[in-house]
Structure 1
């Protein structure tokens, strides 16, 4: 279903009307939301523990913030809530406080408020354009690397291995001193569940052969989705029947049965100064992470995506999380991939998920008590695998080697050193390639296509050239990073055509000429004068001409500035 955001003033979201008109689709969204509610509760509890907070704060972060983003966010299926990266960064930001203390909890709530306010400020001043500098390679590499880290992080629950750390190198270092590599009962349960889920996803005909024959085709799409719920339910029953806890298999403990009333966290100037650097970093990483996931899904699903609107949705979600006793939230790769895998198409599934978490936490928590974490990890792993973007790497490798390099280096850095360092390395590589490409300016000697006013590269087309004139087209703006390259190329061209008295530079593609480039052009003009030659410009854009009008580039120009290349040729070819 195509997703179109409502206007800001419309109270009722536009995606709701089609669902009301098509009950089957609405029922599908409801079932997806309920399944998500069952699956994200243990996940939310685990992320709270990862942040060094009481598990119940994970639930607080998974209810109201999820509903707020579903209503005002930019993506139709992005699932916002407690995620690994914000949990890890919250723990790092509060490392100077006593872990688990009331002050630690209060600072986590305040930090979420600051993150939300910073994101809202970024929305107000329209900083969503920053995503334009996160290339497809960086986004795909980051998502794929985060997916692999999620899979590695879930191994501790899937097979009982004591694996933890920010990246693979850190994990391997911590594993070096461990005596137990896995817990046999946990591994048997987890790998068994993982195998069934793989068959459910990748071999559905084999897995559901009998059901496919018994049920109508219209029901086939729902069989795989409900299999996950059946697997979770059966695992809870078996875990209780055979007392998995005594076998050393970790299971879900009883859930709390209350939620706090909304309240403002404590804020003071000292706290703001202390937490501001961490809040800025969390806000940036949360936005890039969430926008990368949401933007990638929007591209795949052919839906609109507005980064500036994403800032608003995330900002309000974090403020809501703070008001209701939660910690910083973001769009999660594992949560979103599960949401999509279960069949979500509109924000209704996220809203139902949040309401479902609330109801289950308050009234039905005892029914999922005993859920083995190994089964939950298997569900998360199968969802995360689907987010590894191999297709983008193949396309980039075939069509754009530099983008493939960016994707690969971002991915390797994320997996090896953690998401923070990986993202920074990816951005640095991307910026370095931009600088490298702008440094290697494409310049062409052009000639006139016979019988026309068109001028083309002499090495690509059959064109007319002129002995007394060189026509040089510069296909890049001029700035300090490429002036040396351009000047060397100009000198080489002049030496290649020694009989030419008129050097005409075509400025069609030049959008900016900085001070260093102005000095280079002025010096080039002086060199030509000493060689009894003239420098001319043609097709200078208005804003560029405004900037050059009163500089030596124009005031001391040995030749003329022509409106078009054709006028320059007609004027100079016989002189």
Structure 2
């Protein structure tokens, strides 16, 4: 019975927080849901537009996925729904096959969500949560910055009311050159005014004397996008601005999201599979990173494999409810946590409010200018464009800096998916390059201690008859030759050497190629009456050594510590310590 209960808790975390749910938690969750909904409605519609889909699908993507995540997710505050980067990746994946906004495009978006859901669910079910480690943080950071820049620039077409291609910067510049003379100045003025409002009105409300005088100023700061949406709709309706060229969202169907299984078209599935895999990976990385940040703040447990399962089921529900791929939203999650959300019930309540909007208030949004949604995207996404990260990373690690720039230029000059693939490939190539050139040094005894350090960094004691070497990397086929070259050069420089001791404190693993290399070195040294010794060999490495020919044929010894090796081979060096 206990095992059955633990299994339910493991795969359905909602049973844990529902058991202790009370009125106090409900009040906190309800307030948080009201605040989040003020962001979610305009953001959802804007991100649907960014994905090349009707604005209503952004609301659809905020209903079932949030309910499903609340039941299966392990984070109490993560807000699941449409986000800018995943919307942009959806657009980049689908536009090569269908015209944005067409019926076939909408069906393909639903199929894409289902595929992302299946991939994520299977990865979580078979405990592949560790795959997040395959993408380095600098690459992810660069990808987010480049994508944010591309997304923000891509919204210029709605501010200028001209057709622009925005898969990459060259396309955008070429199409801008062709259509710039068709700019609608009224739309541009309306859009710029909206951007200024979104930037400066929250700062005004954030002033201390305003906060003290108006009780709801803090709430209004979070609701600024919704205020702008409502205000712009009223302006368009009163002054009929749509008649002078201000484009609006137009008629939005009302009702609950249509529930249906997208047609499983195998040729299309194979075409969408690379994009779906990339979206699943980025969706997981982004969602887990956000969940980890809030989990650390709230001291709550987090299971990466369960997060994959929850994310997979959320995307499946999105595909079944006429929506597109979803993931965790940083801005809404932060607002959700700051507003005092206690449990995932806040997400369920938010989805209930979205249902109400979808059923009764879609008609109100038909006069919403597209420029407003573009301004909302630009302001929310531009905060992510921070080039200081490139300089900081470059100063810290040239290899990581190179991977960041490769990712960045790949995204903005080719496309989002290709940029990420190039970033991941460059990370692996640079990692292999680093492993193949490990840190290798000659070490000596730090006087007055039992510690051995790099003789080029510390004043150390050595003896002519002993050569002590250290490699700070696992030994494998990638670096075996590099170590062999270093070893031969070091021995050649020391003419009176009688014993060579390899300090293995930095070696966590050793493969067959490395064992063969050490065996060859031992045989060559023996011909010159030089003994090879090993010291500070770790357990996993010793397990390999015991079953190797090197262990049987080693002409020297394996010492527990490097200090003990020196005690046995050159006690005179220790006489003054």
**If the TM-score is normalised by the length of the shorter chain, which range does it land in?**
0.7 to 0.9
Q: Deviations over 1:486-541 (max 9, x none)?
A: 11111121122111110111112112222322232222222212322121112222
Instruction: Confirm or deny: 8 A CA contact 1:443 1:472 kept in the other structure.
Output: yes
Deviation at 1:358, TM superposition (A): 1.8
From 534, 546, 556, give the equivalent of 1:549: 546
SS at match of 1:448: strand
Partner Cα separation in structure 1 for residue 364 and residue 210 of structure 2:
27
Distance 1:524 1:496 in 2: 16
Q: What pairs up with 1:132-281 in 2 under 5 angstroms? A: 132-178=133-179, 180=181, 182-202=183-203, 204=205, 211-212=210-211, 214-216=213-215, 219-259=216-256, 262-267=259-264, 271-272=265-266, 274-276=268-270, 278-279=272-273, 281=275
Mapped partners of 2:22, 2:151: distance in 1: 33
Which residue of structure 1 aligns with residue 65 of structure 2? 65
Mapped partners of 1:319, 1:275: distance in 2: 15
Q: Structure 1 residue 132: deviation in Å?
A: 1.2
Q: C-alpha separation between the residues in 2 aligned to 1:120 and 1:33?
A: 27
Secondary structure of residue in 2 paired with 1:180 = helix
d(CA) in 1 for partners of 2:363, 2:61: 20
Distance 1:153 1:116, change over 3 A: same
Tell me which residue corresponds to 2:35: 32
Is contact 1:77–1:344 with CA below 8 Å preserved after alignment? no
Secondary structure of 1:170's counterpart equals helix
CA distance in 2, matches of 1:396, 1:191: 34
Larger mean CA deviation between 377-386 and 401-410 belongs to 401-410
2:320 corresponding residue in structure 1: 323
Matched residue SS, 2:461: coil
Q: Deviations along 1:382-411, whole A, 9 cap, x unmatched?
A: 111223345644543454444344334323
Confirm or deny: 8 A CA contact 2:70 2:345 kept in the other structure: yes
Report 1:229-378 matches (<5 A). Answer: 229-259=226-256, 262-267=259-264, 271-272=265-266, 274-276=268-270, 278-279=272-273, 281-292=275-286, 294-295=288-289, 298-299=292-293, 302-303=296-297, 306-327=303-324, 329-331=325-327, 336-337=330-331, 340=334, 346=341, 347=344, 350-378=347-375
Question: Aligned residue for 1:122?
Answer: 123
Aligned residue in 1 for 2:102: 100
Residue of structure 2 in register with 1:407 after alignment: 404
- Give the structure 1 partner of residue 6 of structure 2: none
User: In 1, Cα distance between the equivalents of 2:335 and 2:563?
Assistant: 59
In structure 2, C-alpha distance between the alignment counterparts of 1:362 and 1:128, rounded to whole Å = 38
Question: Aligned-pair distance for 1:153?
Answer: 1.8
Match of 1:85 in 2: 88
Contact 2:249 2:368 in 1 (8 A): yes
Residues 1:364 and 1:516: Cα distance change in structure 2 (over 3 Å): same
Residues in 1 aligned to 2:428 and 2:143: alpha-carbon distance in whole angstroms: 16
Give how far 1:483 is off.
1.8
Partner of 1:480: 477
Unaligned runs of 5+ in 1: 1-5
The Cα of 1:364 is off from its aligned counterpart by: 1.4
Cα offset for 1:138? 1.2
Query: How does the TM-score come out when normalised to structure 2?
Result: 0.85
Give the distance between the partners of 2:197 and 2:47, measured in 1 at CA.
Answer: 24
The answer to whether the 8 A contact 1:507-1:539 is kept is: yes
Distance in 2 between residues matched to 1:450 and 1:427, nearest whole Å: 45
SS at match of 2:223: helix
Among 421, 434, 437, which residue is 2:434 paired with?
437
Question: Which position in structure 2 is the counterpart of 1:530?
Answer: 527
8 Å CA contact 2:61, 2:326 repeated in 1:
no
Q: Deviations over 1:283-330 (max 9, x none)?
A: 332332442365157448844654423311220012112322333x12
Q: Do the aligned partners of residues 374 and 101 (structure 1) sit closer, same or farther apart at CA in structure 2, a change above 3 Å counting?
A: closer
**Structure 1 residues 411 and 351 mapped into 2: Cα distance closer, same or farther (>3 Å)?**
farther
Deviation sequence 1:88-120 (CA, Å, 0-9, x none): 25525754x998356x65554344323312211
How does 1:389-400 map onto structure 2 within 5 Å?
A: 389-390=386-387, 392-393=389-390, 395-400=392-397
Measured in 1, the distance between the counterparts of 2:22 and 2:392 equals 36
Shift of 1:476: 0.8
Task: Indicate the larger mover: 78-87 or 168-177.
Answer: 78-87
Deviations 1:541-571 (A, max 9, x none): 2322232334343333222222322332222
Determine if contact 1:441/1:474 at 8 Å carries over to the other structure: yes
* 1:212 CA displacement: 4.4
Q: State the shift of 1:134 in Å.
A: 1.6
Q: Distance in 2 between matches of 1:85 and 1:227?
A: 24
